[in-house]
């Protein structure tokens, strides 16, 4: 029996996953050995997988990650202060469903950004809307948004994502507008959406990085109250670390 007619119809309907499943099964000569229910299950599962993959690709493109990363390629060892059980739990992304935060520190080159990107791309594969930002560029963009009456629109965009990744936090001390922006973002997301903050500065220096004590206290409360913390260890793989602001203590 030729299955080409059915394949052509499925292709016209743009059911790409079903087309591939039926074509591969027909080419292998196994399609006639399947019961109608088995065949329906096969093509339906393949179409579902195809749609999920396309959705993940679309979400990943929107997120604009720093690295192409995979949770399977992350080295989880005691030497890095990241055990396999913890990493597997984080890769399951249940913490995103609960709206919890993840705070990652470690020396330059320890793999912090890769770690965050891997979790972000895993979140996309599970259907979570995700955005990735480098903090230096992010603060500048948000300041410009305030000056051009686009700030509320940018805040709504951030509010709509289920996972927000802020990388390279604390390279410079936050300016007044940056503190207010971060507080507004965290207040809006607290308890309902997750944020990953990545920094080469130890956690006990974050308060000073934020500047004004009252706002810093409010920011830290929202960051740390529902957060898991990872302090990565390991030697730097980079030759030149990013330049830190001179008015702050060394990391």
Backbone angles phi, psi at 161, to 5 degrees: -90, 145
Residue 246 lies in a domain: no
Paired tokens of 238: 């980079």
Is residue 31 located within the same domain as residue 120?
A: no
What gap in Å lies between CA 149 and CA 81, rounded to an integer? 44
- Give pLDDT tens digits along the chain (251 positions): 466 767 677 777 777 877 787 788 877 778 777 788 877 787 888 877 877 888 888 999 999 998 889 999 998 998 899 999 999 999 999 999 999 999 999 998 889 999 999 999 999 999 999 999 999 999 999 999 998 899 999 999 999 999 999 999 998 889 999 999 999 999 999 989 999 999 999 999 999 888 889 999 999 999 998 899 999 997 665 544 445 444 444 44
Is residue 131 located within the same domain as residue 10?
A: no
Pair 42, 112: CB distance under 8 Å: no
Longest C-alpha distance within the chain, in Å? 77
Is residue 44 located within the same domain as residue 25?
A: yes
Is residue 43 located within the same domain as residue 83?
A: no
Residue 170 lies in a domain: yes
Residue 39 lies in a domain: yes
Is residue 142 located within the same domain as residue 158?
A: yes
What gap in Å lies between CA 48 and CA 120, rounded to an integer? 22
Is residue 113 located within the same domain as residue 196?
A: yes
Is residue 27 located within the same domain as residue 73?
A: no
Is residue 75 located within the same domain as residue 197?
A: yes
Structural domain count of the chain = 2
Is residue 47 located within the same domain as residue 93?
A: no
Is residue 215 located within the same domain as residue 137?
A: yes
What gap in Å lies between CA 28 and CA 42, rounded to an integer? 14
What gap in Å lies between CA 239 and CA 251, rounded to an integer? 17
Residue 238 lies in a domain: no
| 3-class SS of residue 144 | helix
Is residue 103 located within the same domain as residue 70?
A: yes
Which is nearest to 167 in space by CA: 138, 125, 209?
A: 138
What residue numbers bound the domain in which 29 lies? 4-61
Residue 251 lies in a domain: no
Residue 56 lies in a domain: yes
Residue 45 lies in a domain: yes
Please count the residues of the chain.
251
Where residue 127 falls (left for φ over 0; alpha for ψ -120 to 50; beta otherwise) is left
């Amino acid at each position: 029996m030729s299955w080409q007619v059915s394949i052509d119809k499925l292709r016209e309907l743009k059911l790409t996953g079903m087309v591939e499943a039926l074509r591969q099964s027909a080419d292998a000569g196994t399609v006639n050995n399947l019961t109608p229910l088995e065949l329906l299950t096969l093509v339906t599962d393949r179409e579902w997988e195809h749609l999920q993959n396309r959705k993940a690709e679309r979400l990943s493109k929107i997120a604009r990650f720093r690295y192409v990363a995979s949770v399977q390629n992350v080295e989880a060892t005691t030497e890095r202060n990241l055990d396999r059980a913890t990493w597997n739990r984080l890769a399951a992304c249940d913490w995103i469903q609960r709206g919890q935060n993840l705070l990652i520190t470690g020396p330059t080159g320890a793999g912090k950004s890769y770690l965050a990107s891997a979790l972000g791309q895993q979140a996309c594969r599970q259907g979570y809307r995700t955005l990735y930002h480098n903090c230096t560029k992010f603060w500048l963009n948000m300041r410009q948004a305030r000056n051009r009456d686009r700030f509320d629109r940018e805040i709504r965009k951030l509010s709509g994502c289920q996972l927000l990744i802020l990388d390279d936090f604390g390279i410079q001390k936050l300016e007044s507008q940056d503190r207010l922006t971060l507080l507004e973002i965290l207040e809006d997301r607290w308890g309902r959406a997750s944020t990953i903050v990545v920094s080469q500065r130890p956690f006990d220096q974050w308060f000073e990085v934020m500047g004004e004590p009252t706002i810093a206290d409010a920011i830290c409360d929202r960051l740390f109250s529902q957060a898991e913390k990872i302090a990565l260890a390991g030697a730097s793989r980079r030759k030149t670390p990013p330049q830190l602001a001179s008015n702050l203590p060394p990391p």
